[in-house]
C-alpha cells in the first residue's frame, strides 16, 4: 500500500482558514495558528452577540416608546400595564415603530389607554 503524506489537504485546510480571516489585522490574517485562534474567538463572540441582540433591540424599543410617552405625561410601566388591562395586544416592536414613524396612530393608542 502506498504512503499518503496528506500535504495537499493540509495546504487546503490552511488556505481555507486564512480565507476566513481575510481582513483581520497583523498576524491573525497571515499565521495559521493565530488565525485559528481568531476564528474561535470570532465564532464565540458572534454566538453570544446573536443572543444579546434580542435584548438590545428590546431596550431600544422601550426607550423609543418611553420618549414618545413623555409628551403625554405617562410613564412607560403604567402604559404597558394599562395596555394589558384593556386587552390591547400590541408588542413593543410595533409600538416603537408607531411611536417613531406614525405618531398619529401611537397617539390614538395612548388615548384609548388613558
Write the pLDDT tens digit of every residue in 27-52.
Answer: 999 999 999 999 999 999 999 999 99
Please state, in angstroms and as integers, the Cα–Cα distance from residue 35 to each residue in 32, 38, 81, 89, following that order: 5, 5, 51, 48
Write the pLDDT tens digit of every residue in 77-98.
Answer: 999 999 999 999 999 999 999 9
Are the C-beta atoms of residues 48 and 34 closer than 8 Å to each other?
no
| Burial of 98: CB neighbours in 10 Å, binned 0-12, 13-18, 19+ | buried
Instruction: Break the chain into its structural domains and give their ranges.
Output: 7-113
Task: Looking at the structure, give the CATH architecture of the domain made up of residues 7-113.
Answer: Orthogonal Bundle (1.10)
| Set of cell numbers at residue 109 | 393608542
Can you give the C-alpha Rg of the chain in angstroms? 26
Amino acid at each position: 500500500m502506498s504512503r499518503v503524506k496528506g500535504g495537499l489537504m493540509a495546504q487546503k485546510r490552511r488556505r481555507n482558514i486564512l480565507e476566513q480571516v481575510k481582513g483581520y489585522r497583523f498576524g491573525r490574517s497571515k499565521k495559521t495558528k493565530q488565525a485559528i485562534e481568531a476564528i474561535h474567538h470570532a465564532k464565540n463572540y458572534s454566538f453570544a452577540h446573536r443572543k444579546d441582540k434580542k435584548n438590545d433591540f428590546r431596550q431600544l424599543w422601550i426607550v423609543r416608546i418611553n420618549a414618545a410617552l413623555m409628551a403625554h405625561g405617562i410613564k412607560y410601566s403604567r402604559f404597558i400595564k394599562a395596555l394589558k388591562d384593556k386587552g390591547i395586544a400590541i408588542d413593543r416592536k410595533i409600538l416603537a415603530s408607531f411611536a417613531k414613524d406614525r405618531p398619529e396612530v401611537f397617539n390614538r393608542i395612548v388615548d384609548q389607554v388613558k
